Amino acid sequence: MQETKSKYPEVKNYISGIFTPSDNEVMEVINPKTGDVISSVPLSTNKELDQAVNAAWSAFPGWSAMPIKERVQIFYRYKTLMEKNLRSLAQLVSDENGKTMDEAIAEVEKSIELTEFACSLPQLISGELLEVSRGVECRVEHKPLGVVASIAPFNFPHMVPHWTIPNALALGNCMILKPSEQVPVSSIRIAEMLREAGLPDGVLNIVNGDKQIVEAICDHPGIEAVSFVGSTTVAKIVYKRSTSNLKRCLALGGAKNHIIVLPDAHQDMTASNVAASMSGCAGQRCMAASAMVAVGGVDHIVAKICEESKKIVPGQNLGSVITKAAKERIERYITEAEKAGAKVLVDGRNWKVEGFEGGFYVGPTVIDYVTPDMAIAKEEVFGPVLAIIRAKDLDEAIKIENSSNYGNAASVFTQSGGHARMVMEKASAGMIGVNIGVPVPREPFSFGGWNESKFGVGDITGKSSIEFWTKLKKTSVKWNPEARTNWMS
Ligand code: NAD
């Protein structure tokens, strides 16, 4: 595995185009593949948040007055800069998050695709106009909200900020970004590159910190809307707190995604897809297959999944998990399931990668005969672990999927159109896959789950995000005095 021991400069806040040190204490940023400290991040004060919000409001009149076709030119240039710097951006993601270089490259490529979508927004948001009575026309336009906030998790330091920044900004808003304090360095590069692409100062501001600054964002009277991506526990807090302060809020939470495997599924394709889905990004994806519902006689596919899983080796084609605490939590889930009677077929506990003994690695793990009442079947494990639950038929499998509190993704592997159709209709999840292990809808389709995987109306990306980041202005116009007088006059 290629590894850099590089240390990055201390992370600062970014306010009105200037990297500004915080007055408050700092936290260490750790490379989870090595355990080395690579940077530090400030836990900003509420006063520093005020400065960022003021900077954003100062930038708003000029930015929102710029025609959208002009605004997106900056994102065309930004996209080219990301393409040119793909490897260095990916290296940084890999260093602060622990994922492999290939996964980090795929992450930055997704940021590029999200930016490409924002460049298409002028084509999508042209308003509506109709002559509603003689000589009177009504027009509807999308207007920006003002200053908005985006709060991000640790698992995609580059991509998740791109779920919100390009669309919200292209639509005319100014933003306060609060990156995860565990992976704050990528956001610095995002700010630098957007500035290089021509983004005016104050349009994007970054305020670092943890719980306390998130609460301050939810309470701040100068912030119109809050988008959040993270765990369900925190999503609920942020949603309740922001909306009780009369803000618009969209809060994406955690997940427990089910893959239903039927006996007629293509053996090799299913096995490689399931193994990749559960272990990609070390299982730290909100779209990861975490529970497999094995319907009927699928032992041949389970055997193949184990074979595929053994080809996934920590430190080679599998990255680390984010912290020592995460590694311990994941291993605890495995041990508890085993104690409760589940059978560990592939065991990823107690992994050490030679030369990287300080890193936090968990190997791919496959556990069979998990029952729906076990914690590992119900809770988000967020590690490279597949819990296999046996079901006698498809009805029972769907019941198991439906019983989850979450609802991000659900997939089915089968060669039967009828069975696939049944899962498409009955699964209680926002994103469904048929013979696809990670059913992320690509742009222009929007991303978002159901149930406790998302709070708020609409989705965070794609066309759906237009409604979240804008408000509608409806104007009725009459210039001709001879037009008939009616109730509208
Ligand atoms: P997290 O909820 O711990 O943190 C997310 C953000 O909230 C961070 O910026 C953090 O500083 C802040 N925060 C943490 N605790 C807080 C508190 N008590 N009050 C206020 N703010 C707080 O999530 P994480 O561990 O960084 O990320 C992993 C989680 O994110 C997983 O549950 C994963 O499923 C979820 N996730 C969901 C999606 C999705 O699309 N639904 C996408 C990515 C990640």
CA dist 210 and 198 (Å) reads 29
pTM as predicted:
0.97
Taking CA atoms, 285 is separated from 256, 264, 278, 358, 432, in Å, by 10, 28, 9, 23, 16
The secondary structure of 16-80 as a DSSP string is TTEEE--SS-EEEEEETTTTEEEEEEE---HHHHHHHHHHHHHHHHHHHHS-HHHHHHHHHHHHH
Sheet containing 225-229: order of strands? 18-20, 13-15, 204-206, 174-178, 147-151, 225-229, 248-252, 454-455
* Predicted confidence pLDDT, tens digits, the chain (489 residues): 444 445 899 999 999 999 999 989 999 999 999 999 999 999 999 999 999 999 999 999 999 999 999 999 999 999 999 999 999 999 999 999 999 999 999 999 999 999 999 999 999 999 899 998 888 899 999 999 999 999 999 999 999 999 999 999 999 999 999 999 999 999 999 999 999 999 999 999 999 999 999 999 999 999 999 999 999 999 999 999 999 999 999 999 999 999 999 999 999 999 999 999 999 999 999 999 999 999 999 999 999 999 999 999 999 999 999 999 999 999 999 999 999 999 999 999 999 999 999 999 999 999 999 999 999 999 999 999 999 999 999 999 999 999 999 999 999 999 999 999 999 999 999 999 999 999 999 999 999 999 999 999 999 999 999 999 999 999 999 988 776 666 655
Q: Which of 180, 219, 236, 241 to mutate to test the pocket of ligand 1 (most atoms within 8 A of CB)?
A: 180
What is the distance in A from the centroid of ligand 1 to the CA of 176?
A: 17
Q: What CA–CA distance (Å, rounded) separates 383 from 366?
A: 11
Contact 217 CB / ligand 1 (< 6 Å): no
Rg of the chain's alpha carbons, rounded to an integer? 24
152 lines ligand 1 (CB under 6 A): yes
Find out whether the beta carbon of 262 lies less than 6 Å from any atom of ligand 1.
no
What span, in angstroms and rounded, lies between the C-alpha atoms of 436 and 447? 16
Residue nearest to atom 15 of ligand 1 (CA): 211
Q: Which domains does the chain have, with CATH numbers?
A: 13-254+449-473 (3.40.605.10), 257-434 (3.40.309.10)
Atom of ligand 1 nearest to the CA of 238: 20
Q: Out of 43, 114, 155, give the residue to mutate to test ligand 1, the one with the largest number of ligand atoms within 8 Å of its CB.
A: 155
